[in-house]
Amino acid sequence: MKTQLVTRATGAPLNRIDGVQKVTGAAKYAYEYPVEGVTYVFPVQSAIAKGRVVSIDASAARALPGVIAVLSHENAPRLAPLDDAELAVFQADAIAYHGQFVAAVVAEMSEIARQAASLVVVHYEEQPHDVELRADRGDLYKPQSIALGYYQTDTFDGNVEAALTSASVSLDHVYTTPPYHNNPLEPHATTAIWSDEGVTLYDANQGAHSVRDAVATAFSLPPERVRVIARYVGGGFGSKIFAHPHVILAVMAAQAAGRPVKLALTRQQMFALVGYRTPTIQRMRLGAESSGRLTAIAHDVVEQTSTIQEVAEQAAVPSRMMYAAPNRRTTHRLARLDVPVPTWMRAPGECPGMFALESAMDELAIACGLDPIELRIRNEPAVDLESGRPFSSRGLVACLRQGAQRFGWAPRDPRPRARRDGPWLIGTGVAASTYPANQLPATALVQVDHVGNYQVRIDATDIGTGAWTVLTQIAADALEVPPERVQLEIGDSSLPKAGLAGGSAGTASWGWAIVNAASALRARLHKEYGGNVPAEGLSAGGAFETNPEAQQFSMHAFGAQFAEVRVHVTTGEVRVPRLLGVFAAGRIINPKMARSQLLGGMTMGLSMALHEASVLDPRFGDFVNHDFAEYHIATNADVGTIDVTWIDEEDLHVNPMGAKGVGEIGIVGTAAAIANAVYHATGIHVRDLPITLDKLLP
């Protein structure tokens, strides 16, 4: 049942409830909980990409004062089989990727553990590895499904080849994106404490319940004997969605040491152990009438996965629903390589996929002699052609129009190299954004005491997004009380189960469960107690299962991104003085938090356009630029003005709050808008990210 929410607290720019705790250091992260008798674990990583461990000499490490244990496949406890083979820490001598755990030292101090780890001598039997992704590999395969079964691998509609052949205007280009590493500010960290009841983890993750389940399975424990606490998390961007091997290692080490253990991965270790976005090779073919009306879209994607765990990113999925092309084809093929296991990273699928589609749309506009905004408007579909369903709301055209006005697009001379300021060529570009309005099952419990204070309990996770604040606002409105009367408890697997902080689904899913719990509580209070809270207080639970309207409507957020760039004629240096993002993401629960999310997404998109790229060395199979000195992320000096705004949109088909997610859409389209602006400035189409100086020099 869906009842519309009263809107008093929601919609207001409340400050972060956890803001003071964060800036004063009172908000504890996973590594920071003081634990009696704690020890520290430091891993030893494989120096080869493929082969096996022949022997391990840990004598020097064991001799170091303060060393408690050295673990490896030779002495580690046996784990139960797991769906995720990446988590089978020390279960065999086989090496599947460079950087895999081969041993670990537990010691009284972290420095001792680290030094001892450097003294462990590992002998390998090395086998030739294969880490090179190419579209012409003969062993590319079609995964069963993509995005963990969320989507079909391939889709075909109409006759793409015939439509491309007979199109008045057509293009056929390959766009490539490199691997990206998620790099949250807080490294992945776990504190593991065993007791008679089971094991408690303070862990940096995007969903305590899912980490709990992974640990319970691995150690053959009933889930209720594993408790995972993640009250404050310093970013994740997808790399903290799934448990990674360090979580298992921490629990195993604490068991072996018979004492609590802390483990925080170093930044360098994170480049092998907690996932990254697959590189993509995307062939994009578009066919159109001379009016610019699309007749065909073909989007064929090649990606990589590891040998031990399949991850299939849904990069071609946005090409299925963005535009009104009657003939469409999307495919995904994977190369299984001896590489670290990829994972999801902010807007998996849409982020790299829309770089290709939106760059190609710009090239099509040029080929048709049309303004790129006009081209997109001409290809606005009446319904989602893939599912045949109407959109619950679709604000793309409104975003493009409002953005054009706000950005000052109108007097634009479309010719490249037409604007110049001294040695700087100036260009502007536009691209569309989209991200699905996802929802995941959630449960919540609401409790009221006799003085009218409410407690809301749900295992949601705030990874820095503002969940503490927006869920309090939603609860306040659902209970029709001021937010000060609501006390929220989140980030703990002992709370009612809820889905991940992922897929931009958090607010929509957790919020709906809270709304249902609140209305159950209010109904109980009125029916059973005549509106008077009993002395012992009262509680009620609520759940969100699925949105019945998800079968009737196609539900997505949309946006339009505009960029102005300056490219230096002599050096090829690219500056981005101005970005504008206009979004249609349903009702905005908290403008301050939403703006931060969108601003962060766009900054990450700028970083993707110009800086970020993980470089895999084919000789050794490892990512060589594995720290912030060499993996470049946009800094303040790289970012000019970023203007973030949104159109008024309240979509009650999506949920009672009328809100779509804002966590991921901000990164979608930014890189294409910048690449399109770079073309406008220079006349050079850079189809291979990042846009570095060398690609712009003759």
- Among 101, 237, 391, 435, which residue interacts with ligand MOS (rule: CB under 6 A)? 237
Closer of 467 and 486 to ligand MOS (Cβ): 467
User: From the CA atom positions of the chain, what is the Rg in Å?
Assistant: 26
Region for residue 491 given its phi and psi (left: phi exceeds 0; alpha: psi -120 to 50; beta: otherwise): left
Rounded CA separation 339/97 (Å): 5
Residues 6 or more apart whose Cβ sits within 8 Å of residue 45? 98, 99, 100, 101, 102, 269, 272, 273
Closer of 651 and 664 to ligand MOS (Cβ): 664
State the minimum distance, in angstroms, from the CB of residue 348 to ligand MOS: 5
Closer of 169 and 230 to ligand MOS (Cβ): 230
Q: Tally helices (H) and strands (E) across the chain.
A: 14, 26
Q: Is 348 in the site for ligand MOS (CB under 6 A)?
A: yes
Closest Cα partner for 42 from 123, 121, 109?
Answer: 109
Closer of 465 and 493 to ligand MOS (Cβ): 465
User: Dihedral angle at the C-alpha atoms of 418, 423, 428, 431, nearest 10 degrees?
Assistant: 120
Q: Is 581 in the site for ligand MOS (CB under 6 A)?
A: no
Residues 6 or more apart whose Cβ sits within 8 Å of residue 189? 29, 30, 31, 203, 204, 262, 263, 264, 265
Residue nearest to ligand MOS (CB): 238
Can you give the length of the chain in residues?
Answer: 698
Closer of 311 and 375 to ligand MOS (Cβ): 311
- Among 101, 323, 344, 435, which residue interacts with ligand MOS (rule: CB under 6 A)? 344
Q: Is 346 in the site for ligand MOS (CB under 6 A)?
A: yes
Is residue 664 part of the annotated active site? The answer reads yes
Closest Cα partner for 278 from 548, 40, 613, 17?
Answer: 613
Token match 């209010």: residue?
522
Q: Is 90 in the site for ligand MOS (CB under 6 A)?
A: no
Q: Is 179 in the site for ligand MOS (CB under 6 A)?
A: no
Q: What is the 8-class DSSP label of residue 641?
A: E
Q: Is 236 in the site for ligand MOS (CB under 6 A)?
A: yes
Closer of 238 and 572 to ligand MOS (Cβ): 238
Rounded CA separation 348/92 (Å): 31
Q: Is 318 in the site for ligand MOS (CB under 6 A)?
A: no
Q: Is 499 in the site for ligand MOS (CB under 6 A)?
A: no
Rounded CA separation 118/108 (Å): 16
342-350, 384-392, 454-462, 530-538 -> range binding ligand MOS (CB under 6 A)? 342-350
Q: Is 180 in the site for ligand MOS (CB under 6 A)?
A: no
Number of residues in contact with ligand MOS, rule: CB under 6 A?
Answer: 12
Per the residue annotation, which of 350, 386, 649, 664 is the catalytic one?
Answer: 664
State the minimum distance, in angstroms, from the CB of residue 313 to ligand MOS: 10
Strands 454-457 and 486-489: parallel
Q: Alpha carbon of 360 to those of 283, 319, 680: distances in Å?
A: 10, 11, 14
119-127, 345-353, 375-383, 531-539 -> range binding ligand MOS (CB under 6 A)? 345-353
| DSSP secondary structure letters along 571-629 | T--EEEEEEEEEEE-BS-S-HHHHHHHHHHHHHHHHHHHHT----EETTTTEES--STT
Closer of 177 and 676 to ligand MOS (Cβ): 177
Q: Which of residues 630-659 bind ligand MOS (CB under 6 A)?
A: none
- Among 44, 241, 325, 589, which residue interacts with ligand MOS (rule: CB under 6 A)? 241
Catalytic residue positions, numbered? 664
Q: Which residues bind ligand MOS (CB under 6 A)?
A: 206, 236-238, 241, 344-346, 348, 502-503, 664
